[in-house]
Each structure stands twice: as C-alpha cells, then as structure tokens.
Amino acid sequence: MAVTLKEVAELAGVSRSAVSRTFTDGASVSARTREKVEKAAKALGYRPSLIARSLATNRTKLIGLVANNFQNPAFLDVFDLFTSELQERGLRPLLVNLSDETSPKEFVELLRQYNVDGVIVATSTLPTSFAGAFQTAGIPVIHTFGKYQANAQVHVVGIDNENCGAMAAETFHGRGYRKVALLGGPETATSTQDRGTGFERRSSQLGLDVTSIRYAENYTYRAGREAMATVLAEDDVEAIFCGDDLICMGAMDAARAAGKRIPEDIGFLGFNDIAMAGWDAYALTTIRQPIRDIIMSAVELVVGMVENPSRSPEIRLFPCSVVERGSLRPATD
C-alpha cells in the first residue's frame, strides 16, 4: 500500500496542508516544519503524487515535443538534449509523433488533454500556422527549426536558412566548382525552400551554373539515393549541396555505384553535421547546424513563457559553419 499524505502528517505531528506545502515548489513553510515533514516522509518511504500536485497547482510540468522526423539520426540529438535539459529543470517531456494526416486542431486537443505547460514544435516541414494553433489555444509554444520571419507571431528558434544556402554556394565557388546542383529535403519544407533561395541567388551572383534542383521525398538515406540516381541520369554536375547529411550519404553511395569518385569526379556538401558525417566511409564536408544551442535556447524560452505567457514573440537565430572533411576538393588559392 502506498504511504499517504495523512500518514506523513500524523507521524510528523503537523497538518496535512503543511505536508502538501512542503512538497509544493514555492509554497511557504517554516524550516522546522519542513525538517519534520521530510524526516517523516523518509521514514515512511513517502513520495508525493505528481498527479495530485498538478491538480492542486494546475501545473503538470509537462512540456510537449512535437516532431515528425524520427527516422533521421539528427532527431536523436534533438530528443536527447530536449529530455535531459527538461529533466535537469524538474520538468517532464511528452513526446508526440506528428503525422501528415493529423490536423493542427487534433494535435492541440491531444496536448490539452494532457494539460501540458508548454510545447516545442521541432520541425521545418510545418507552416507557422501549426505552431500558431497552439498559441491560439493558450498553450505557450516555441517553433524550432522553423522559418525565420521578421513579423513572426510565435517564438522561433533556429537558423537563417537562406544564409546557409548562400554559404553552400560560396563554399563551391571557393573550390573552383562551376556546375553545381541542389538536392534538397521535401519540397514543402520551409528550410528546403529558404536554403534553395539562398543557394540560387548567391550562385547567380558568383557566376555558378545551377544545373539541377531536385528534392528528396523525405529525410532518409533511401530518398537521397533514389533522388541522386535521377541527377546522374539527366544532369551534368560537378558538386551537389544536399539539404541533409543522411540524404547526402544516400546520394554519395548512388554516385559511387555509378562509378563516380568522390571528390575527384563529383563533390558533396551536406547539412547538419550528424555523427555519421564523420565516419571514414563518408568523411562528409557539411554545414553544421548548432542543434545543441537551438534546443537549449528553446527550452529556456518555453520555461520563461510558462511563467510569463504574455511574453512578446522572439526570434533567436544561431550561426552555422562549414565542417571540413573530404567530400569536396581543396579550396583554390
């Protein structure tokens, strides 16, 4: 039988409300009473009921993480950082797997059933209106990896994807490539659209010939390999900027299967800098997205919003950088 609050109160010689206050964050209780309650609780093996506490305070300490890219290893970093950072703050993660068929209204209702204190939407494949649905329902929400907009209606934490696309073009130009291509993630993803815009614009400015623009169906190795097969069959290209490392690895293996040498015959530039990018089999030169900084900032922001729901929407953008390995030829002087 579980030990009850009443039993702790009787052993400590205090009221039940005093026991409740002892185990409620921020509640007023004297040092002497706290000591007596904690001693009694330890002797009886008492653990406060989180459910009961949430009913009393109307706070569950649950923070939802809504995502739809679980097949990509990059999400493992997101999940690890999200859960560990919340737990260090005494909060609990609630993971929600987003499907293409589910409407914003349905997801809002799902998370409201759990009475979450806040939500982090971790995907670039959703329009900002999805995150806005949580805001309309009165749920504090942060959109990570979302589209940067100067007049954003919700908090956004991420990167400037157009600038990253431009960075890819500059990287190719610095290595003497002229016929270049883009192999992006899903065409509907705002990150893909923005990186493509930045890549094409900067390529034009630098005199590069963008011979191909293709899109993978999803952020997977197979999708990258299949999309690359069409590039090899139809386009003349010296270097390819891929919108994701896993897509890029599939594309690299497709090129090898077609007899292409990397980087002698064709160069590859990835995006994200997942752990596998450093494997000897790929040695992928890639643009590093600072996932740790993004998630840490998002958690900090959502916790602050729980305390102050009226906080004005804020944009936090972090810089990316090129991680040099061996999938591009050396830079020219």
pLDDT at 27 over 80: no
How many domains would you assign to the chain? 3
Report the pLDDT averaged over residues 70-88.
Answer: 83
Residues 295, 309: one domain?
yes
Residues 302, 231: one domain?
no
Residues in the chain: 333
| Rounded Cα distance, 147 and 156, in Å | 8
The H-assigned helical ranges of the chain are 5-12, 16-22, 31-44, 50-57, 74-88, 104-113, 128-136, 161-173, 190-206, 221-234, 245-257, 291-307
Residues 257, 303: one domain?
no
Residue 242: which domain range?
161-288
Kindly report the average pLDDT of the chain as a whole number: 85
Top mean pLDDT of 60-64, 179-183, 298-302 is at: 179-183
pLDDT at 26 over 70: no
**pLDDT in the model for residue 55:** 45
| Rounded Cα distance, 273 and 10, in Å | 58
Domain harbouring 204, CATH code: 3.40.50.2300
For residue 122, is it within any domain? yes
198 φ, ψ (degrees, to nearest 5): -65, -40
For residue 331, is it within any domain? no
Please give the residue that has the higher pLDDT: either 80 or 148: 80
pLDDT at 94 over 60: yes
Residues 66, 51: one domain?
no
Residues 219, 165: one domain?
yes
Domain harbouring 21, CATH code: 1.10.260.40
Residues 233, 281: one domain?
yes
Percent of the chain with pLDDT over 70: 89
Residues 121, 135: one domain?
yes
For residue 308, is it within any domain? yes
Residues 279, 167: one domain?
yes
pLDDT at 3 over 90: no
Top mean pLDDT of 92-96, 100-104, 293-297 is at: 293-297
Helix (H) or strand (E) holding 160: none
From edge to edge, which strands make up the β-sheet containing 321-323? Answer: 209-215, 179-184, 239-242, 267-272, 286-288, 321-323
Residues 284, 296: one domain?
no
pLDDT digits (tens, 9 = 90+) for 216-242: 998 899 999 999 999 998 878 999 999
Residues 275, 185: one domain?
yes
Top mean pLDDT of 56-70, 271-285, 298-312 is at: 271-285
For residue 31, is it within any domain? yes
Name every residue whose Cβ is closer than 8 Å to that of residue 312 and which is 6 or more positions away in sequence. Answer: none
Q: Identify any residues that bridge with 157 across adjacent strands, giving them in sequence order.
A: 144, 316
Top mean pLDDT of 119-133, 143-157, 271-285 is at: 271-285
pLDDT digits (tens, 9 = 90+) for 32-77: 888 888 888 888 887 765 555 554 555 678 888 888 777 777 788 8
pLDDT digits (tens, 9 = 90+) for 203-217: 999 999 999 999 999
For residue 323, is it within any domain? no
Please give the residue that has the higher pLDDT: either 76 or 288: 288
Report the pLDDT averaged over residues 10-35.
Answer: 80
For residue 130, is it within any domain? yes
For residue 332, is it within any domain? no
pLDDT at 123 over 80: no
For residue 325, is it within any domain? no
Residues 258, 169: one domain?
yes
**pLDDT in the model for residue 22:** 78
Residues 127, 195: one domain?
no
